[in-house]
Amino acid sequence: MESEVKEQLRNILKSEIEKGEIPFGSLLVQKNGEEICYLEEGVTRDAIFRMYSMTKPVTSAAVMKLIEQGKLEYTEPVSKYLSGFIGQKAVTNGKIAPVNREVAIRDLMCMTSGLVYEDDMGPAGAHTRKVFDEIIEGLYTEHPVTTIEAANKLGEGILCFQPGSSWNYGSSADVLGAIVEVVSGKRFGEFLQEEFFEPLEMTDTGFYVPEEKRHRLVNSYQKTEDKGFALYKGNRLGISNVMDRKPAFESGGAGLASTIDDYSHFAQMLLQKGNYKGKQILQEKTVEFMTSPKLNARQCETLGWGIGHEGYNYGNLMRIMEDRKKASVAGCNGEYGWDGWLGTYFCNSPMENMTILFMTQRTDSGWLSAAKKLRNLLYFYSEK
């Protein structure tokens, strides 16, 4: 990468910190299998980050692994594996009614299940808040809520719409983690360790941070009114902020901690069609299926991402660029990836053979402006 471009990227990173948009940040860019840029401001390369929703693509890969092994089927009803999903009800035309059909694995993978997060103001959100409050209350007790127990409790609530009729971002990935446990006969974390983390050399990735590595777990922050930052110590979505012990609830939607290099191994595996250093972690056709858009036109109308996400579809717990001509950010058709509540972000562009990873820890972040500015420059540079 030209030094001029690298300096522009560094200036963007510094500017976002100086403006009080992020407390610190790091950027890693890989192209054609080689690292072409790494930058850090206020953080070290071996820092461990709370991934929050960047856990979801890993959960998606775990489900795809079971599907390619013939142990799970994409359209199977969730109730086959979790009794909490038997006899569900959904909000229909403002009233609560029995579901027209059962929630399927596909609905969980594409967020068309009707499950929500706790910020939803309807009856579905009220139930979800109750479940996550119960998980948090039990974190440091003798009887914490387990992954499967949490999923069954989520299934017992009201869905915010009839399965498959719409799209809403929610707790579907947490339920998928439980299904991986049921089907594999192993704890979710154990399955991920054996099938992905060990072969991908993701030595700093897991659902908690061992004591000897805890000094590398960076602080998380929330913005203050004076454009500063206050230390964030809260527990959210059933996740302990200090991540100091192996949790009973291993959240498929938000629970992993990782480093920028560890996550790059996972991203590169997907970009290289399931291959990592000569090991076929997922089959090529599996990755193709996993990274293809899945929503129909009606579901796409309800994505609700707002400005900046035009041109994207969704599928298997990731956004996927379907029409770059409609997009508000630079990119290529077929690009896919996701982000996390504390500002972690990744995308893969098969057309450019490029992976972009951005890391910070600021609450209520998601796909930050900083990440968009950095990737715009990278895409425009690569298209020269």
Q: Domains of the chain: which residue ranges?
A: 3-55+190-382, 68-186
Tokens of 290: 């996993």
- Count how many Cα atoms sit within 13 Å of the Cα of residue 49 in the half-sphere of its side chain: 32
Question: Which residues touch 319 (CB under 8 Å, ≥6 apart)?
Answer: 305, 309, 312, 313, 336, 337, 338
Tokens of 304: 């609700």
pLDDT given for residue 140 in this prediction: 93
What are the mean pLDDT values of the chain's consecutive 10-residue runs (384 residues total)? 91 96 97 97 98 98 98 98 98 94 98 93 93 96 97 97 96 98 98 98 98 98 91 96 96 98 98 97 98 94 79 96 92 96 98 97 95 94 66
pLDDT given for residue 189 in this prediction: 98
Burial class (CB in 10 A: 0-12, 13-18, 19+), 362: buried
CB atoms within 10 A of CB 32: 9
Residue with tokens 């999903």, as numbered in its chain = 85
Q: How far apart are CA 235 and CA 169, in angstroms?
A: 20
From the centroid of its chain, how far is CA 211?
25
Residue type, 305: W
Question: 314 phi and psi, to 5 degrees?
Answer: -145, 150
Which residue, 72, 252, 79, 58, is CA-closest to 163? 79
CB atoms within 10 A of CB 232: 17
The CATH fold assigned to 3-55+190-382 is Beta-lactamase (3.40.710)
Question: 295 phi and psi, to 5 degrees?
Answer: -80, 140
Question: Which residues touch 346 (CB under 8 Å, ≥6 apart)?
Answer: 54, 57, 263, 267, 337, 338, 339, 355, 356, 357, 358
Q: How far apart are CA 277 and CA 361, in angstroms?
A: 30
Question: 312 phi and psi, to 5 degrees?
Answer: -100, 145
pLDDT given for residue 383 in this prediction: 58
Question: 36 phi and psi, to 5 degrees?
Answer: -115, -15
Residue type, 199: P
